[in-house]
Structure 1
Amino acid sequence: MEWLTGPFEVGFVARALWGGLLVAVICALAGTWVVLRGMAFMSDAMAHGMLPGVAIASLLGGSLLLGAALSSVAMALGVTALSRSSRLSRDTGIGLLFVGMLAAGVIIVSRSQSFAVDLTGFLFGDVLAVRGSDLLVLAGALVAALLITVACHRSFTALAFDRRKAATLGLRPGLAQGLMTALLTLAIVASFHVVGTLLVFGLLIAPPAAMALWADRIPAIMAGAALIGAVATVCGLLISWHFGTAAGATVAASAVACFFVSVLAASVRDRIPATDR
C-alpha cells in the first residue's frame, strides 16, 4: 500500500493528481464529441497550434492560458477560412496550419535564453508543477465544459451523426459546430499545462475511443472516459514517481495503453458467441 499511496502524500504530487483528474473529466466531455464527430486531426492540430500564443505570452510575461486560447482560436478560424476554398480539402488546410503554427512557436521560443527548458515545458507539460491557482482554473474550466455539454447536448448529438438532420430539426448546425470547437479549445487550453501541447491529444482521444467500444449512449461514454482518464492519471504518476520517467508523457502513454487494452478486450468479447455471454 505504501507503494501506491506514498507518492500522493507529497504535496506537489497530490496537486498533480488533482490536476490530472480534473483534466481527465474535461477531456472526457470534449473528447467524446471529437471521437463521434471525427475531429481527431482537427483537435491534434489545435493542440499544436496554440504553441505560438503560449510562447509569445511567456516572452512578454503574460498569461499562458490567454495566449494559448487566442492561438487556438486563430488556428480554428484559419482552418475554417481555408476549408471554404473549393480547391483545397479541409485536411490540407489543417495540415498546413498545423506545421506553420508549430514552426512559428518553435521560432518564437528560440528567442528565449532558456530555449530547451521552455520548449520542453510547452511541448510536454509539467504536471508536477501544478499550483493551487492552476487547480482553481481547471475547476472553472470543468464547470464551463459541463455547462456547454449539458446545454448543447441535443444539438451536438444531431451534429455528430447527421448535419443535414440537425439543420432540418432547426438546431443550427453552424452554431453547434462553433460551440463544439469552443468546447474543444477549452479542453486543450486547460490541459496543456499538465501534459503539454504534444501530449494533450492522448488524454483527449484515447479514453473516449476506448470507452466507445463498450458503450452506446453518449453519457455512458463520457463517464467511462472520465474513469479511464483518471486511471491513466493515477498509473502515470505512480510509474513516473517510482521509475523516474517524465510525468506528463507517462500519463499520456498510460491513456493510450488503456485504449489498446480496451481494443484487445473488445476483440476477445466479439469472438465469444452471443449465447455464451
Structure 2
Amino acid sequence: MEWLFEPFEVSFVQRALWGGVLVSLICAPVGTWVVLRGTAFLGDAMAHGMLPGVALASLLGGSLVLGAAASAATMALGVAALTRFPRLSGDTSIGLLFVGMLSAGVIIVSHSESFAVDLTAFLFGDVLAVRPQDLRNLALALAVVVAVSALGHRAFTALAFDPRKAGTLGLRPGAAHATLLGLMTLAIVASFHVVGTLLVLGLLIAPPAAAALWAGRIPLVMLGAAAVGTVSTVLGLVISWHAGTAAGATIAAVAVTAFFLAAGAAALRDLRRGPTAAAHETTMEREVEHAS
C-alpha cells in the first residue's frame, strides 16, 4: 500500500488533496441541484463564460477572481434577460451567450503574448499549486454554500421537481432560481482559479449524477456526491503522481469514470429489479410533498 500513500508525503500534494476535497464538498450540494434540474449546460456555459472577465483582469493586472465573478454575473443576467423572449428556449439563450462570451474571451486573450499558457491555466488550473490562502477561500465558500443550501432546501426541492407547486406553496421560485444561480456562480468562481474550469465541471456534474442513480433522497445524493468527489480526488492524485499525467485532468477523468461505472451498475440493478427499478426516484419526488 506504499504506492497509495507515497504521493501525500509531499506538502504540495497534501495541499492539492485538501483543495480537491474542498472543491468536492462545495460542488456536491450545488451539483445536486444542477443535476436534478437538468441545468448542466448552464453550468458549463457559466464556467467557460468567465473567460472574458479573467482575460481582461489578467491584461489589466486586476483580480482574476473579481473578473471571473463579473463575467459569471453577466452571463447569468444575460440568460435571465433572453429567456423572457417566448420564442427563445433556455438552451438557445444559453448557447448564444456561451459562444459569445467564449469568443470575446479568446479575442481578448489573443492580444497577450502568453495566449496558450493563459488559456491552458484557465481550462485546467494547477491543483498542485494550491496555496494556504486558496484553502481558506475554499473553506469560506463551503461555509456559505452549506448555509444557503440548508436554509433554501425546501424551496430548492420544490423548484427542482415542480416549479408551479413551489409558487402555490409561497416558496418564491423566482428567488429560489436566482439563489441557485448565485450558488453555482460561487462554486465555479471560488474553485476555478485553483483547479480550472475542467475540474470544477467534472466535480460539479459527475459525482452528483453518479449518486443520483443510487440514492433515494436528496440529502443522500449530496453525501454520495461528496464521497465520489473525494475518492476521485484521492485516486486522481495517486494516478497522476505515478503516471505523470496532469493532476486536474486526471481527477476529472476519474470522476467521469466513476459516473459510468455507477450507471453500468445501475443498469444491471434495474434489469434485476424490473418494475421496481424506479422506486428511488419516486421516493425522491416525495420530498416535494414535505416542502409544504
Q: Deviations over 1:69-128 (max 9, x none)?
A: 111010000011111112322111110111111111112112222111111001111111
C-alpha separation in 1, matches of 2:140 and 2:50: 20
Helix, strand or coil at the partner of 2:112:
coil
Match of residue 84 from structure 2: 84
C-alpha separation in 2, matches of 1:60 and 1:2: 47
Q: How does 1:237-248 map to 2 (within 5 A)?
A: 237-248=237-248
Task: Percent identity, please.
Answer: 70
Q: CA RMSD in A?
A: 1.5
C-alpha separation in 2, matches of 1:13 and 1:76: 34
C-alpha separation in 2, matches of 1:197 and 1:6: 28
Helix, strand or coil at the partner of 2:142:
helix
Q: Deviations over 1:195-244 (max 9, x none)?
A: 32244221101000000011111110000000000011111111111111
C-alpha separation in 1, matches of 2:130 and 2:169: 44
- Structure 2: 5+ residue runs without aligned partners? 275-292
The one-letter code matched in structure 1 to 2:100 is G
**Is the 2:134–2:194 contact (alpha carbons within 8 Å) kept by the matching residues of 1?**
no
Helix, strand or coil at the partner of 2:216:
coil
How much has 1:194 moved relative to structure 2?
A: 3.5
**Is the 1:195–1:252 contact (alpha carbons within 8 Å) kept by the matching residues of 2?**
no
Match of residue 249 from structure 2: 249
Match of residue 129 from structure 2: 129
Q: Deviations over 1:165-196 (max 9, x none)?
A: 00000011100000011011111112212432
How much has 1:2 moved relative to structure 2?
A: 2.0
C-alpha separation in 2, matches of 1:180 and 1:254: 27
Helix, strand or coil at the partner of 1:30:
helix
**Is the 1:50–1:197 contact (alpha carbons within 8 Å) kept by the matching residues of 2?**
no
Match of residue 288 from structure 2: none
C-alpha separation in 1, matches of 2:5 and 2:58: 35
C-alpha separation in 2, matches of 1:45 and 1:115: 21
Match of residue 74 from structure 2: 74
Decide whether aligned partners of structure 1 residues 20 and 199 sit closer, same or farther in structure 2, where only a CA change above 3 A counts.
closer
Match of residue 146 from structure 2: 146
C-alpha separation in 1, matches of 2:155 and 2:89: 25
Aligned residues: 276
Deviation beyond 6 Å, 4+ runs, structure 1: none
Q: TM-score, normalized by length of structure 1?
A: 0.96
The one-letter code matched in structure 2 to 1:163 is P
Match of residue 236 from structure 1: 236
- Structure 1: 5+ residue runs without aligned partners? none
Match of residue 158 from structure 2: 158
Match of residue 259 from structure 2: 259
Q: Does 1:13 align with 2:13?
A: yes
